[in-house]
Structure 1
Amino acid sequence: MPAGVAAGHPATAEVGLRILAAGGSAADAAVAATLACCVSESVLTGLGGGGFATYYDATQRTVHCLDFFCSVPGLDGDRVPGPMRPIEVLLGGLPMNYSIGEASVAVPGVPAGAAAVHGRWGRLPWARVVEPAINLARCGVVLPAAQALTLMSVFPALVPGAGAEIYRPGGRLLAGGDLLYHPGLDQALTMLAEQGPDAFYTGEIAKLTVEVVRAGGGALGPADLAGYRVRDLEARRAPLHGYQIFGRHDLNNLIPTVAALPAGLAGLPRGERVRALAGALREYGHQRIGDTTNVSVVDGDGNACVVTLSLGIGSGVWLPGLGLHLNSMLGEGELLTGALAPGQRMSSMMCPLVVLDGDGELALAAGSAGASRIRTALVHTLINVLVDGVGVNEAIARPRFHVIGDVAHVEAGYPEVDALAGAGYEINQFDQVSHFFGAVSAVGRAGAAGDPRRGGVGLLL
């Protein structure tokens, strides 16, 4: 198993690789890359969001899942949230409604989650792990063309307030090749390096977060931030072609979807296999966008750390002077499953994975961005790698389809469209490879790769 990093931006992956080269563990590199992507991939995520991590311990041959996703505010009990601001965005030609503003902001978990992963499995000093992200924030990064396309879809949530200066300077939306720069974000990261996550939960940044959110009608308060904790989750598993797929139980049921695939998938005719995959995807299908990214790392000792994090669509609420965008999780309708009590952890479709072979050894570390298409993108990739035996690059780049009810959204170049149509699916044929279909990043025995749909890369040590 090679040591390497796969992520959604070249700068993110390079940061992780440099940490590995400096003697860091998979956890060190994943945390450094996670913080770097809060700078380089802010169209998709940020320090003001939440996420999940899956870690494989090669010595113990154990899998651990951590939950640092967003929590419902209101523990202070002194605020009734005001109204949110509705917006509509288009992705893949599909209109989707969201709500943003201060009332959409939930309790963020990324600073606490990064510190927890590092504290459990890291080797390098904390400040050394945070430093590369600070340097990126001071200089800015180039916006990849693929992420510029995503920006065109989600900009209504990104350009209110301070976001206009960042994403639409001079009235022109950033394009591929432009510099993405967040004034003040280096200061927020420096405070994280020097004070740890306390800065975000009980310190100066915490106080500013409460002031900004409550000034606009949000409910988030001091008790919400001070009471936030990272949680351990059970690692669920499902078999696939002699391998075991490990991940948390997510809102979109990725592990049960894998378990529902026929045991003899490799021996099925292609058309029958496609219909079986479509049926499993339809069983649990949901449809949202969300802003998400993923980092997958394997170190030289065979440990793996996969981190997926999200900002939601983005609230349009920024902390002044810190270049920090807050999440919009309370405006994500499908994440609000039933009545949510203050302090309750919210649901998510994110599901970072590790794959072990029959001897319990690591075969693949993978995760994906893309909300409801996370499950679709990962299941396609797992089948390509584990069943078809293709390399990680090809497995991720192969065209996909995504099922919503009786409609199959089919990426350009997917070869078995007739099998889907013959099974009764209405076909929405895309004329190009599209960021709609998720963004996988994976490190496996055949190499490391990021998803070309969003400008991702994979690098080996």
Structure 2
Amino acid sequence: MENSPRAGRVAAGVAASHPATAEAGLRILRAGGSAADAAVAAVLATCVAETVYTGLGGGGFATYFDAASGEVTCLDFFVSVPGTDGDRRAGPMTAVDVFFGGVPQVYSIGGASVAVPGVPAGCGEVHRRWGRLPWEALVAPAYELAVTGVALPEAHARTLEACAPALAPGDGAAIYAPGGRLLRGGDRLFHPGLASALEALAADGPALFYTGAYASLLVETVRAAGGALGPMDLAAYRVIETPVDHARLGPYRVRARHDLNRTVDTIAALPPGLADLPRPARAVAVAAALRDRGRQKIGDTTHISVVDPDGNACVITTTMGLGAAVWLPGLGVNLNSMLGEGELITDDLAPGRRMSSNMCPLVVIDESGALAVAAGSAGASRIRTALVDTLIGVLIDGLDMPSAIARPRFHVVDDTVHAEPGCPRDELDALVEAGWQLREWPEINHYFGGVTAVGVGGAAGDPRRDGVGLLL
């Protein structure tokens, strides 16, 4: 893991939650690709190397910073609710128990949990707007990984163990538990047929999944599993440009979409003199801003952060929930389970409606208008916690990026502070004195998010996900 100097322009680089993913992005930067090109290539690589977290059947968000103009753009390619065809009602979902931190979490999977996927369309739109290299070149690294398979990092193996009730049923058994044994760290993760799917994606573009050869297969597969997805749902899907929120953190401006967990609002609510507060008092102030009303689902999510030599940044977060255990036959593509994610179900959901999400890829701009940080995180309701702590570490405490991401975090749920080992004792004591309940975790855990970031202080991925940062 390399670091850039604390002062001066942010170095070009890629941060991701798998070495193969980061290498895919770096390869595109070396070939002269833009930040958008490298981010798309890395996202497609996650659909091979990080399928415990994401895939072509998922959805996501992108934030792009244009260095020449200073403009920030946020794109929504998250999943939407199916059923606009009106000719099919979804059947029941299948409930699964997933143990997380020793506590059972109930999720639902199956065809009825599948929402309209957005990852192919999102990658296509990011490339259309800001890409330089041919589309086929961006798919190539993922295709090559799909041909050989990739090593499963130890941290991903721990996630797999927790999420096996959702990932390993049906066709997932041969992929994640070959021979009846779950993959372990270092084992090869291989998806039969996925190379063929990526080869077709390179040739036909993202329309392959919406109006092309795979659209009818998608509909037939989901409906056979009890879902309501129809051809009109796919044909009508569009990437949406969303408003960009902003907040001050010291002399810096944080820019991102307005997410379900209000990340930018939380930053805006921090005391303006945060840097001058004693650390115990600061911990209490941050905990108050982070109070999270009961949401603590796992959230299988991953993130890519890229900065190119021109200072442009592209940050993309994607997810498929736990995965529906509904696979496109012969293509190695699992579909999302977002309609089975309880914390994302809102009263206004209706066919054609875009679902909400906690995902918040962001950029931070310094006083001169230049990029300071490009970052995002995995971790459902802990995304906000992980990002706020990392930004405070880099921009307020002056840590390098790897140190800021790796340091122990605490997360607030209702009146309880969940703390990783190594959180300063005087800060924890101050939280208890302020009336918070304290739950101390025995280990650094992927529950607390998975940040990847490039900026002042270097490029880094989260050790909780075996992430890496690479500089050009």
CA distance in structure 1 between the aligned counterparts of 2:103 and 2:392, rounded to whole angstroms:
27
Q: Give the SS at the match of 2:76.
A: strand
CA distance in 2, matches of 1:248, 1:201: 26
- Cα separation, 2, equivalents of 1:28 and 1:92: 37
SS at match of 1:204: coil
State how far apart, in whole Å, the 2-side matches of 1:444 and 1:284 are. 31
In structure 1, distance between residues paired with 2:167 and 2:353: 26
Query: Given the alignment of the two structures, is residue 76 of structure 1 paired with residue 76 of structure 2, yes or no?
Result: no
Question: 2:8 matched to 1:5?
Answer: no
Kindly state the Cα deviation for residue 216 of structure 1 after the two structures are TM-superposed.
1.6
Distance 1:53 1:326 in 2: 20
The aligned counterpart of 1:35 is 44
TM-score w.r.t. length of structure 1: 0.99
- Give the match for residue 165 of structure 2: 156
| Structural mapping, 1:234-253, within 5 Å | 234-253=243-262
> Which residue matches 1:398?
407
CA-to-partner distance for each residue in 1:162-217, whole Å, 9 max, x for gaps? 10000000000000000000001111111111000111001221111100111121
Which residue among 112, 117, 121 is the counterpart of 2:121?
A: 112
Q: 1:426 aligns with which of 437, 443, 457?
A: 437
Report SS of the residue matched to 1:443: strand
Q: Structure 1 residues 433 and 383 mapped into 2: Cα distance closer, same or farther (>3 Å)?
A: same
Q: What is the alpha-carbon distance in structure 1 between the residues aligned to residue 112 and residue 207 of structure 2? A: 23
Asked if structure 1 preserves the Cα contact closer than 8 Å seen for 2:150 and 2:190, the reply is yes
Which deviates further from its counterpart, 350-359 or 281-290? Answer: 281-290
1:189 corresponds to 2:198? yes
Q: CA–CA distance in 1 between the matches of 2:397 and 2:260?
A: 28
SS of equivalent residue, structure 1 residue 372: helix
Identity of aligned residues (%): 65
Question: Which residue in 2 is equivalent to 1:205?
Answer: 214
The answer for unaligned runs of 5 or more in structure 1 is none
- How many angstroms does 1:90 deviate by? 1.3
Matched, 1:412 2:421: yes
Partner SS state of residue 340, structure 1: coil
C-alpha displacement of 1:282: 0.3
**Residue among 279, 282, 294 paired with 2:303:** 294
Q: In the alignment, what sits opposite 1:50?
A: 59
Q: Please state how far the C-alpha of 1:55 moved relative to its aligned partner.
A: 0.2
Paired residues of 2:64 and 2:315 also in contact (CA < 8 A): yes
Matches within 5 A, 1:170-319: 170-282=179-291, 286-319=295-328
The structural deviation recorded for 1:339 is 3.3
Tell me, yes or no, if the aligned pair for 2:139 and 2:202 is still in contact at 8 Å: yes
2-structure distance, mates of 1:159, 1:419: 43
Letter in 2 for 1:277: V
The answer to whether the 8 Å contact 1:53/1:305 transfers is yes
Aligned twin of 1:355: 364
Report if aligned partners of 1:285, 1:372 keep a CA contact under 8 Å in 2: no
The question of 1:438 aligning with 2:438 is answered: no
Deviation at 1:283, TM superposition (A): 5.6
Query: How far apart are residue 123 of structure 1 and its match?
Result: 0.3
> Match of 1:66?
75
Q: Would you say the 8 A contact 1:253–1:284 is kept in 2?
A: no
Whole-angstrom CA distance in 2 between matches of 1:435 and 1:73? 31
Q: What CA distance in whole angstroms lies between the structure 1 residues aligned with 2:139 and 2:169? A: 28
CA root-mean-square deviation = 0.8
Q: Which residue of 1 aligns with 2:331?
A: 322
CA distance in 2 between partners of 1:24 and 1:332 (Å): 36
Query: Does the 8 Å CA contact 1:5/1:16 hold for their aligned counterparts?
Result: yes
Q: Which among 445, 450, 454 is matched to residue 461 of structure 2?
A: 450
Spell out structure 1 runs of 4+ moving beyond 3 A. none
**Which of 389, 392, 395 does residue 380 from structure 1 map onto?**
389
Where does residue 131 of structure 1 map in the other structure? 140
Q: What amino acid is aligned across from residue 67 of structure 1 in structure 2?
A: D
| Post-superposition offset of 1:288 | 1.6
Structure 1 pair 285/247, CA: closer, same or farther in 2 (3 Å)?
farther
1:327-359 Cα shifts (integer Å, max 9, x gaps):
001001111111311110000000000000011
SS in 2 for 1:198: helix
Query: Which secondary structure state, in structure 2, belongs to the residue aligned with residue 312 of structure 1?
Result: coil
**Residue in 2 aligned with 1:459?**
470
* Partner amino acid, structure 2, of 1:105: V
Contact kept in structure 1, 2:394 and 2:457, CA below 8 Å: no
CA contact under 8 A between 1:411 and 1:432: conserved in structure 2? yes
CA offsets 1:233-280 (integer angstroms, 9 cap, x no match) = 111000001100010000000000000000000000111100000000
1:284, distance to aligned residue in structure 2 (A): 5.9
Q: What's 1:142 paired with?
A: 151
Unaligned runs of at least 5 residues, structure 2: 1-9
- 1:89 aligns to what SS in structure 2? strand
Residue number in structure 1 paired with 2:6: none
Q: Which residue of 1 aligns with 2:4?
A: none
Secondary structure (helix, strand or coil) at the match of 2:291 reads helix
Which residue is equivalent to 1:365? 374
> How many Å apart are 1:300 and its aligned residue?
0.1
Decide which of 24, 29, 35 is 2:33's aligned counterpart.
24
Whichever residue aligns with residue 231 of structure 1, its letter is I
Cα deviation 1:281-329 (Å, max 9, x = unaligned): 0066632212100000000000000000000111111111000000001
Q: Could you say if the C-alpha distance between residues 246 and 285 of structure 1 is closer, same or farther in structure 2, counting changes exceeding 3 Å?
A: farther
Alpha-carbon distance in 2 for matches of 1:422, 1:315? 44
**Are the equivalent residues in 2 in contact too, given 1:261–1:276 (CA < 8 A)?**
yes
Q: Name the aligned partner's letter for residue 445 of structure 1.
A: V
TM-score calculated relative to the size of structure 2: 0.97
Given residue 467 of structure 2, which amino acid in structure 1 is its aligned partner? G
C-alpha separation between the residues in 2 aligned to 1:285 and 1:380?
20
Displacement of 1:91 in angstroms is 1.4
Q: How many angstroms does 1:394 deviate by? A: 0.2
- Whether 1:101 aligns to 2:110 is yes
State the AA in 2 paired with 1:438. Answer: G
